[in-house]
Amino acid sequence: MSGWHIGIIGGSGLYDVAGVADGRWVEVAGPWGAPSDAIFTGRVGPVAVSFLPRHGRGHRISPEQLNPRANIDALKRLGVTDVLAVSSVGSLVEDRPPGSFTIVDQFVDRTKGRVSSFYGTGCVAHLSMADPVCPRLSAFAADAAGEGTTSGGTYLAMEGPQFSTRAESHLYRQWGCHVIGMTAMPEAKLAREAELPYALVGMVTDYDCWRADAAAVDVAQVLAQLSANAARARDMVMRLLHALPAERTASPIDTCLDAALITAPSARDPALVAKLDAVAGRALR
């Protein structure tokens, strides 16, 4: 046993990898609703691994209708220690072409109407998102992804399910964003609230719609590049799992709630505290 349990949130085909021992689908129930799908769990050497298809098998859930609270809670209930997100993104810069990977290290959240926290009235928490990803896990991902990968980049999280207008695409470029997607927020925020170190690999499928000399992104273009990216993504995941150190040393993110919970124990809502048993049980005891 290594102490690592890597939760991988990604496309429906990401779990279809050779080399996962004792693989099985597990249904996980929790107080935040149903996760996107059952979770495929197994081991790669000494490392436990759990794959969650973000949109459900067959890509049946639209980005704005995902339940990321249920997804993160389910992974935490399974004992996941770290989360690797693998997401398709559009590129907002010329030097990150379709087929390249970006190891995201910052976000601009332009989503709306999505519940972005496990906490609220009866148990308030304020966590820093200044550095929203885990540098250790991100470095492992960059090494595993190899050639054609850029370490560092700002992800613009948009609501969807529609793609950007040209005006929006140009605006996001002016803001200094590098890639654009529909799923990383509030997923990254919720992982931090659950004390789960989080890294995101953005697989570029298109150039959004900012290039004057190219057609705007459409589903056919995205699907074609998705197919090309899938094998590389599976290889990256397996290389990362095999490259992890024999033992997992503690991360500061493992205990970040110690400085975040603000509601006095005597004022906490027992019903909300009960719902937080998996994501915050350690800190609420």
Which amino acids are annotated catalytic?
206, 208
CB 14 within 8 A of CB 237: yes
Task: Tell me the one-letter amino acid at 216.
Answer: A
Distance CA 204, CA 99 (A): 6
Distance CA 46, CA 4 (A): 8
- CB neighbours of 263 closer than 8 A, spacing ≥ 6? 122, 123, 124, 125
Rounded to a whole number of angstroms, the distance between the first and last alpha carbons of the chain is 27
Distance CA 260, CA 253 (A): 12
CA 218 to chain centre: 23
Distance CA 72, CA 35 (A): 8
CA 238 to chain centre: 17
Distance CA 227, CA 223 (A): 6
CB 181 within 8 A of CB 89: yes
